[in-house]
Structure 1
Amino acid sequence: MSAVDESTDLFRQEAAELVAALERGLLDLEQTPQSAELINAIFRDMHTVKGSGAMFGFTDLARFVHDFETAFDRLRQGEVQATPALIAVALRACDQITALIADPVSARAASDGLLAELAAALGQNPAAAEPVVEGLHLRFYLPVDCMRLGCNPVLLLEELRALDQGAGEVPVRALVDRVPSLPQLDPQDCWMGWEVTLRGAVSEAAVGEVFLFLRDDMELIITPLAPQKDAQAPDAAVTRQPDPAEDPEASVAASGTAAAGNTIRVPTERLDELMDRVGELVIAEARLSSLAYSRRDPALLAVAEDIQRLAAGMRDTTMSIRMVPIGSIFGRFRRLMRDLSETLGKPVNFVTTGAETELDKTVIEMLADPLVHILRNSIDHGLETTEARRTAGKPEAGTIELSATYSGAEVLISVRDDGRGLNAERIRARAIEGGLIAADAQLPESDLLRLIFEPGFSTAKTVTELSGRGVGMDVVKRTISGLRGQIELSSEPGHGTTVTLRLPLTLAIIDGLLIEVGGEHYSLPLAAIEECVELPEQHAVAGSSASLLNIRGAMVPFVRLRDLFETPGAAPEFQKVVIVSSGGARVGLVVDRIVSNSQTVIKQLSQLHAHLKCFSGATILGDGSVALILDVSQLVDYGRAREERARHAGSVFGRPERAVA
């Protein structure tokens, strides 16, 4: 890829972030239309999009944004108000900006229509002509960093000369009063100013077109030559930089300070590669530590401890680089909910909390689609119509809350609505109709509600653009399972539904508990472990007693991993039980021995092993051997299923089942 292509791609990435910021600002402004801070922030984002677009050759984009920027300048001046109509047009303008970046030629035709809508929203006549003046005197100072951004002052002066339309020679005088002393002068900074006299018929709008991409960051004084209004008073003056004639050292220092805080963009592929290298380093460090402890060499042990400390620091730093605030995707959902509210005619108060909660960037990227499906279902299926809410004594506007919070080494993301809740009987009827369960099946309500995540399941009576095909929640389940997460579902008829996603902070390196079963090592995610206890003597022999443990008054089903994995040989005399939890349920895993805690570098299983549902990956131990990582959610589901079968059989006794994942 050429340098030009890389720069253009960089612009597209930055523009996407700016458009997202614009949408957030516009949606906030709709709620607080008098906020000067929001108006200024929107104006700055528009100006940045315009200037960057011009720099990278997106001229149509720059001119389109310029007109919207002008409208928000009127908002800044208090000449117009931020009406819902103006916000609606501005939101569609955000879509047009994205289209002009993706395909400027195809999107160009839609710009004029939006500009006409903008004029109507502002109460303007788009055909109004700018007055022409016989002669203008210009005095201007360009932004100090204009040449760094690709501006050529000589070309600007040539454009001004071309405006004079043959009225003779155009006088130009350089202004050097702001140029700092030589030791402080940076040749890339533009400290000069100019005075230009245009004697022909010219409009101020034409002058503004010359400075289209610099106008709001420069000082420009326009004075008509012929006495009109008050010829001595400048019509406009915009100042961004301090006057270096008063304190040039302060200006140079300020410029240097701003530059010092710059950040750089790194392609995600490089971050992924760095994470892979750190993972290999963690494995090598574990092998070195194992070797050092086996040799008992003090010098080697000291080196191993240093490497362990450095590897841990590099691991934590690299993982922190990959962490992204979940608020980066929260913003796009506000626009989604606004549009769905208008489409369905259901007023909605959309509330977000915990936007600062951080997750691994890979998790963030894969969360967007599942959350879209959940939110669409919440407003389409969950919330009642305005009339139904009024009849039920609820506020006419429904509430949907999207929240994120930390829970140990996991993040909980919840979508809660105050709608009608899930109808268990209707779900059961549709499940029987679709052949998902038998007509005489007796399922607990929690399992019944979870049927909405089955492929093809839908309770919608008709197929619409939003729902009815039964594919949305299936996508949610598959994606969350692929992220090693769990879904929790709770509902109260008449009061609403809550869907909670439990997700790991990272998919690369986790803290694990190393266990042994039949001489083989396995790893359990430490975040899923509640406690470890001794297996009571009466449960030591398989099939000899109940399959439930009494853990401080709570009955917890347990699974013997020896039976599950069909491990040959006799079990040791003293076995351990590791209590794990998932989705609010608990199960005990009977193991031969607990080995140690360790940093677990997750390696994905190959396609040949994709059918092994009880394993989520593998890791390499310090001695070079491989340990499979157990999938806690699958094991918990298996334990719960055993418990339900035992209960429906009328007894919790019987021989443990053997099952291969």
Structure 2
Amino acid sequence: MDLELAMQTFLEEARELLGDMEGILLDIDPARADGEQLNALFRTMHTIKGSAGLFGLDDIVGFTHQAENLLDQLRDGQLRLDDELVGLLLRCHDHVKLMIQALDDKADLASLHDAALLESLQAYLAAPPPAPAPELASAMEAQQEQEAPDAPDALPPQEPWLLSLRFGPDVLRNGLDPSSFLRYLATLGSIEQIEAVSCNLPIGEDFDAETNYLRLEVLYRSDIDEQTLNEVFEFVREDSELHIWPLGRAGVHLAEACAHATPAEAEAVRLAWRRFGALGDDETEVQAIEPAQPPAAEPEPPREAAEAIHEPAHPTTDTMPAAGESRRQHESKFLKVEAGKLDSLINLIGELVIAGAAANLLARRSQQPQLVESTLAIANLIEQIRAGTLSMRMVQIGEIFQRFPRVVRDVSRELGKDIQLHIVGAETELDKSMVEKLGDPLLHIVRNAIDHGIESPPIRQAHGKPATGNLWLNAYHESGSIVIEVADDGGGLDRQRILAKARERGLLGHEDEPPDSVVFQQIFEAGFSTADHVTNLSGRGVGMDVVKRGIEQLHGTIEIDSETGRGTTFRLRLPLTLAIIDGFLVDVGHSTFVLPLEAVVECIELPTDLPENGVHDCINLRGELLPLLHLGRFFELPPIAAARRNIVVAQYGERKAGLVVDALQGEFQTVIKPLGTLFSALKAISGSTILGTGEVALILDVPALIQHACRKELERLAHTMPATADILANGARHDGP
């Protein structure tokens, strides 16, 4: 067993447990807390403490032990849950989380000592227990009555146990000290006797100091149950032979304990058990070990047969491996893979896509039907592999959303506001690499919504609103993209104030009367702030520009809808993945470009009688005004003679535009290659790819092109038909960018 791997497993499981604990504390109603919730909180601290004890992490064990005592009194009714105690438990959660992170960073845990937090814990532990409320007392009695029939064999306090521990030969080599397990057992009960039995101890040069040659027979007393005892040895169970039985029922299992022992070892175990009091004076129990001693005399009976012969009258711990096996079978449905390995696999699949495209091109040029058919079959398999591999990187956005209930709770209480968070679409999936980069932008938007967007309770009530504000986090798929909305029912953005500030800074002209969509985008300018004073949360004019830059690095956009007195919605649109996409190849002049296929609605022929009045014009597409963007003129490419040109109708959100191209080549699996920093300022290009010919094709940024085309068309209409331009601008404000 690899100790570093075991440590990483411990860290991951601890983080999962802490996430569950935080979720329970944020959802729990102190007045209606049920026993299952309190037991789950206790198990979190108990499990982390036990696992930390196996690694000798005394700082984590010491603190979690205090928190465990508090939760134990809470579930026993000695403490009453209230908002203050929930806050203290959240502080305990944060402290353990900090220690786990420090352990992962190889930092000093002792430096995280929090005397104030420990003092608060001790104050609760030393307080006299309150009298339980009548309804709580009756509920506890009912729960005890309900649980009593299901636990006829409940163990009395300080039950004696016999532990037969034969650790694997590599336990020391893997960095685990068997004595650490005994030290941890001593914190849960008392070790009364230990007998060390040598197992095939070599002599001379064959002796290896890093190999374990001992088995331990232990007489142990504790009030913990069988499952907890088995969990102590979870990290070494696969490499070791471990048995745990109640002392009074251990004698019939002597043959099982000595099944793989030499005659001398079996005799030593028998004597140890007799000294523990596990064996009586009758010879039937002693003779039970005889069939297992000489392996050559008679084959060892199957384990199923042995269990049938020695089946006890009551449930014992030899049923625990079956339960553990069932748990492992359930967990085997999921396999944790290092993210770097998955990224490497996706990169290789990207190269495979490029090589497959080159092979397919050569096959078509050869005009050999069988070769073309074979390359098409390979291309189909590559596409399936690509889709399956990319799906492995897709995770639910709830991974981000789950951190915000705590943020909303803490920030709203700091500001004296009552805010209810609503989460919708947490099961929506997107690329994990994007999830990791979305946390900070969303956090800043949420904090701004709480600080600036939602009013204080007196102001809300004065405007006829409920005192409790609402904040929504919503995610859904739309047109091959993922849309994330952060909405509130606050006072909305102050258009006139933002416009005045923008004019003051020279961002907009004094005579300009831009639509709301343009005005609201000014808040993303660096240093822009309309706050009268600086708070701990905001007001310095930093943050929103970083938010926009972070979203643009993910090839996404941010839209803002706001209505005075009704609230504000920030709408983030992002691609589903940044690795491999389905593309649509087009020719413009002598150059080839790629459009994301999910943005392509349809392709139509460019009318030959269309008047040309500059770079931008429009057509009537089935009663809808469709702005056109001639890509050849836009990119200033040399024109070519073409019998016909085509319009690719592209859509992003609620907006559409027609991109005029010279030729259509069709669908193409596109491996996204990022552009260098030299091209980072380009707004219409989102990346590049390699074609089957080995040439480089640029991937067009459809949202930027559509916004550019629509904005230029509005500017043109503003000079020719102001009323029409105003209608379109208002529509843009409500329907999209």
Task: Report if aligned partners of 2:642, 2:662 keep a CA contact under 8 Å in 1.
Answer: yes
Cα distance, 1:282 vs. partner? 1.2
Aligned-pair identity in percent equals 38
**Corresponding letter in the other structure for 1:601:** V
Q: 1:250 to 1:610 in 2, by over 3 A?
A: same
**Corresponding letter in the other structure for 1:259:** R
Deviates more, 1:338-347 or 1:460-469: 460-469
**Corresponding letter in the other structure for 2:687:** G
| Counterpart for residue 323 of structure 1 | 394
Which residue of 322, 326, 329 corresponds with 1:257? 326
| Counterpart for residue 109 of structure 1 | 113
SS in 2 for 1:649: helix
Which residue of 435, 453, 469 corresponds with 1:382? 453
Cα distance, 1:641 vs. partner? 2.6
Distance 2:184 2:533 in 1: 65
**Corresponding letter in the other structure for 1:113:** A
Task: Report if aligned partners of 1:416, 1:496 keep a CA contact under 8 Å in 2.
Answer: yes
Q: 1:215 to 1:88 in 2, by over 3 A?
A: farther
Deviates more, 1:482-491 or 1:98-107: 98-107
SS in 2 for 1:537: coil
Which residue of 335, 348, 372 corresponds with 1:301? 372
Which residue of 412, 425, 436 corresponds with 2:507? 436
- Per-residue CA distance 1:321-379 (angstroms, 9 max, x = gap): 11111111212111111110111111100111211111101110110011011101111
- Per-residue CA distance 1:447-498 (angstroms, 9 max, x = gap): 1122222222222111222111222221121111111112121111111111
Task: Report if aligned partners of 1:587, 1:639 keep a CA contact under 8 Å in 2.
Answer: yes
Distance 1:106 1:621 in 2: 56
- Per-residue CA distance 1:489-540 (angstroms, 9 max, x = gap): 111111111111111111101111111111321001122223322222222x
Cα root mean square deviation, aligned? 3.9
Q: 1:459 to 1:632 in 2, by over 3 A?
A: same
Distance 1:158 1:621 in 2: 61
Alignment of structure 1 residues 242-253 onto 2, 5 Å: 245=312, 251-253=320-322
Distance 1:251 1:388 in 2: 60
Distance 1:519 1:462 in 2: 56
Q: Does 1:607 pair with 2:684?
A: no
| Counterpart for residue 235 of structure 1 | none
Task: Report if aligned partners of 2:162, 2:247 keep a CA contact under 8 Å in 1.
Answer: no
- What 5-or-longer segments of structure 2 have no aligned partner? 130-156, 197-211, 236-243, 249-309, 725-737
| Counterpart for residue 52 of structure 2 | 53
| Counterpart for residue 178 of structure 1 | none
Cα distance, 1:546 vs. partner? 7.7
- Per-residue CA distance 1:413-443 (angstroms, 9 max, x = gap): 1111000011111110111112111111121
Task: Report if aligned partners of 1:29, 1:82 keep a CA contact under 8 Å in 2.
Answer: no
Q: Does 1:574 pair with 2:578?
A: no
| Counterpart for residue 616 of structure 1 | 686
Which residue of 147, 161, 165 corresponds with 1:140? 161
Task: Report if aligned partners of 1:548, 1:557 keep a CA contact under 8 Å in 2.
Answer: yes
Cα distance, 1:577 vs. partner? 1.2
Q: Does 1:449 pair with 2:453?
A: no
| Counterpart for residue 130 of structure 1 | none
Q: TM-score, normalised by structure 2?
A: 0.73
Q: 1:157 to 1:71 in 2, by over 3 A?
A: closer
Task: Report if aligned partners of 2:164, 2:217 keep a CA contact under 8 Å in 1.
Answer: no
SS in 1 for 2:587: strand
- Per-residue CA distance 1:19-40 (angstroms, 9 max, x = gap): 2332122111247742333333
**Corresponding letter in the other structure for 1:559:** L
| Counterpart for residue 632 of structure 1 | 702
Which residue of 609, 612, 620 corresponds with 1:542? 612
| Counterpart for residue 70 of structure 1 | 69
Cα distance, 1:315 vs. partner? 0.9
Deviates more, 1:5-14 or 1:516-525: 5-14
Q: 1:545 to 1:104 in 2, by over 3 A?
A: closer
Deviates more, 1:277-286 or 1:72-81: 72-81
Distance 1:462 1:125 in 2: 46
Alignment of structure 1 residues 147-296 onto 2, 5 Å: 152=178, 156=182, 195-196=219-220, 214=232, 245=312, 251-260=320-329, 261-262=331-332, 263-296=334-367
Task: Report if aligned partners of 2:647, 2:659 keep a CA contact under 8 Å in 1.
Answer: yes
Task: Report if aligned partners of 1:33, 1:83 keep a CA contact under 8 Å in 2.
Answer: no
Distance 1:440 1:549 in 2: 31
Q: 1:592 to 1:157 in 2, by over 3 A?
A: closer
Distance 1:244 1:443 in 2: 84
Q: 1:36 to 1:413 in 2, by over 3 A?
A: farther
| Counterpart for residue 406 of structure 2 | 335
Q: 1:568 to 1:35 in 2, by over 3 A?
A: same
Q: 1:14 to 1:254 in 2, by over 3 A?
A: closer
Cα distance, 1:108 vs. partner? 4.8
Task: Report if aligned partners of 2:162, 2:220 keep a CA contact under 8 Å in 1.
Answer: no
Distance 2:186 2:434 in 1: 53
Task: Report if aligned partners of 1:100, 1:107 keep a CA contact under 8 Å in 2.
Answer: no
**Corresponding letter in the other structure for 2:121:** L
Distance 1:391 1:459 in 2: 23
Which residue of 713, 729, 733 corresponds with 1:643? 713
Cα distance, 1:137 vs. partner? 6.4
SS in 2 for 1:467: coil
Work out the number of aligned pairs and report it: 594
Which structure has the larger Rg over C-alpha atoms? 2
Which residue of 114, 117, 120 corresponds with 2:123? 120
Cα distance, 1:639 vs. partner? 1.0
| Counterpart for residue 543 of structure 2 | 472
Cα distance, 1:77 vs. partner? 3.5
Distance 2:186 2:341 in 1: 46
Q: 1:216 to 1:256 in 2, by over 3 A?
A: closer
| Counterpart for residue 355 of structure 1 | 426
Q: 1:439 to 1:571 in 2, by over 3 A?
A: farther
SS in 1 for 2:113: helix
**Corresponding letter in the other structure for 1:57:** G
**Corresponding letter in the other structure for 2:558:** I
Distance 1:413 1:292 in 2: 43
Q: 1:121 to 1:432 in 2, by over 3 A?
A: farther
| Counterpart for residue 436 of structure 2 | 365
Cα distance, 1:587 vs. partner? 1.9
- Per-residue CA distance 1:266-304 (angstroms, 9 max, x = gap): 322222111111111111112222222222334423432
Task: Report if aligned partners of 2:26, 2:406 keep a CA contact under 8 Å in 1.
Answer: yes
Task: Report if aligned partners of 1:119, 1:125 keep a CA contact under 8 Å in 2.
Answer: no
Q: Does 1:585 pair with 2:655?
A: yes
- What 5-or-longer segments of structure 1 have no aligned partner? 127-135, 175-187, 198-203, 223-242, 654-661
**Corresponding letter in the other structure for 2:541:** G
- Per-residue CA distance 1:75-103 (angstroms, 9 max, x = gap): 33344333211110111112211332314
Q: 1:549 to 1:159 in 2, by over 3 A?
A: closer
Distance 2:554 2:194 in 1: 65
Deviates more, 1:438-447 or 1:543-552: 543-552
Distance 1:318 1:332 in 2: 27
Q: Does 1:505 pair with 2:576?
A: yes
Distance 1:173 1:444 in 2: 84
Q: 1:629 to 1:125 in 2, by over 3 A?
A: same
SS in 2 for 1:569: coil
Q: 1:406 to 1:192 in 2, by over 3 A?
A: farther
